[in-house]
């Protein structure tokens, strides 16, 4: 039993009614901490902590458009995706995957225009896994709105060149490179991809999931966890994260050179 500001009575009893433990407190701080903890639990009971959406839903319901129009954009790019594509390549892949649906193509056209003219010219914090760039240049596998597709060598080269161009020209985009695993125990799992803004927190689900889905955080605690995860990696995991822009550009430049060699041979 707990009475706000006044009394906390806590008891543990056996099935036969015998008391194993009791505690009584009238200390206001202790009473209210327990009270608000219970209140929070009761309020969240039955509430979903996230809403699951397919990639098609994300586009048709304009959730993605709302996201990129938001403030304080931060990305953890766990595998190479639709971001930092040149405008023409984005259009090519859109038509290849969603050519059957004019409505989706129209949504993608608007997203593409906004990315090119606003997002890539704004302040943006990006964490990208170095291992994913290496995997991308060798396999060509990419997640386009969480739908797997394989790009040609030339397409990959165009993609990486555009990323390099943005990094060189943009003063507001801060890209940092994750050079290892943040958690060693999940080596066999996909790296997390999380897209954050002030109001929206979008988590890409594993591509093995048949929904090609995303989890949209609806619970404040989950939203805070997403923000905290980004901040921990961005600030505190500096031994795993390169902040040196010249070093990161050099890694991307070498990846492009490798792509050119592959393109010439094949």
Q: What is the pLDDT of residues 132-146, one digit of tens each?
A: 999 999 899 999 999
Identify whether residues 39 and 54 lie together within a single domain.
no
Q: How far is CA 173 from the centre of its chain?
A: 17
Q: Which two tokens mark 82?
A: 């639709």
Stated pTM of the model: 0.78
Whether pLDDT at 12 is above 50: no
SS3 breakdown of the chain: % helix, strand, coil, rounded to 5? 50, 25, 30
- Identify the CA nearest to 67 among candidates 104, 110, 101, 103: 110
Identify whether residues 11 and 86 lie together within a single domain.
no
Domain that holds residue 19: 2-44
Identify whether residues 136 and 244 lie together within a single domain.
yes
CB 109 within 8 A of CB 127: no
pLDDT digit string (tens) for 190-228? 788 999 999 999 999 875 556 678 999 998 888 998 998
pLDDT number for residue 191: 82
Identify whether residues 21 and 58 lie together within a single domain.
no
Identify whether residues 56 and 136 lie together within a single domain.
yes
Identify whether residues 62 and 186 lie together within a single domain.
yes
Mean of the pLDDT values across residues 17-45?
55
Identify whether residues 193 and 109 lie together within a single domain.
yes
pLDDT digit string (tens) for 59-109? 999 999 999 999 999 999 999 999 999 999 999 999 999 999 999 999 999
pLDDT number for residue 74: 98
Distance CA 223, CA 229 (A): 10
Identify whether residues 33 and 56 lie together within a single domain.
no
Identify whether residues 28 and 61 lie together within a single domain.
no
Identify whether residues 63 and 17 lie together within a single domain.
no
Distances in Å between the Cα of 48 and the Cα atoms of 54, 187, 198, 201, 210 are: 17, 29, 20, 14, 21
Question: 141-155, 159-173, 237-251: lowest mean pLDDT where?
Answer: 237-251
Burial class (CB in 10 A: 0-12, 13-18, 19+), 140: middle
Identify whether residues 37 and 131 lie together within a single domain.
no
**Mean per-residue pLDDT of the chain:** 83
Distance CA 74, CA 230 (A): 8
Identify whether residues 184 and 61 lie together within a single domain.
yes
| Tally of structural domains, the chain | 2
pLDDT digit string (tens) for 162-190? 999 999 999 999 999 998 765 554 444 67
168: helix, strand or coil: helix
Instruction: Extract long-range pairs of 151-157: CB within 8 Å, 24+ residues apart.
Output: 151/93, 153/259, 153/262, 153/263, 153/266, 154/263, 155/89, 155/92, 156/259, 157/256, 157/259, 157/260, 157/263
Q: Taken in order 223, 123, 107, 205, is the CA torsion positive or negative?
A: negative
Distances in Å between the Cα of 38 and the Cα atoms of 27, 42, 144, 245 are: 17, 6, 42, 47
């Amino acid at each position: 039993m707990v009475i706000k500001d006044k009394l906390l009575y806590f008891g543990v009893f056996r099935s036969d009614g015998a008391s194993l433990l009791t505690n009584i407190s009238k200390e206001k701080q202790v009473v209210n901490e327990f009270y608000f903890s219970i209140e929070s639990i009761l309020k969240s009971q039955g509430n979903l902590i996230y809403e699951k959406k397919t990639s098609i839903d994300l586009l048709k319901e304009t959730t993605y458009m709302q996201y990129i129009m938001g403030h304080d954009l931060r990305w953890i790019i766990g595998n190479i995706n639709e971001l930092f594509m040149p405008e023409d390549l984005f259009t090519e892949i859109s038509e290849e995957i969603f050519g059957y649906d004019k409505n989706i193509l129209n949504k993608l056209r608007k997203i593409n225009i906004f990315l090119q003219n606003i997002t890539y010219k704004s302040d943006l914090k990006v964490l990208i896994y170095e291992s994913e760039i290496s995997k991308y240049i060798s396999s060509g596998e990419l997640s386009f709105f969480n739908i797997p597709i394989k790009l040609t060598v030339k397409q990959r080269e165009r993609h990486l060149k555009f990323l390099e161009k943005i990094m060189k020209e943009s003063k507001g985009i801060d890209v940092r490179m994750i050079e290892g695993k943040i958690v060693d125990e999940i080596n066999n799992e996909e790296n997390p991809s999380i897209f954050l803004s002030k109001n929206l927190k979008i988590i890409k689900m594993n591509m093995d999931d048949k929904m090609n889905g995303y989890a949209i955080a609806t619970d404040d605690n989950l939203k805070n966890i997403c923000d905290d995860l980004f901040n921990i990696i961005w600030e505190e995991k500096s031994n795993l994260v390169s902040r040196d822009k010249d070093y990161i550009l050099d890694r991307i430049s070498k990846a492009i050179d490798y792509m050119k060699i592959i393109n010439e041979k094949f």
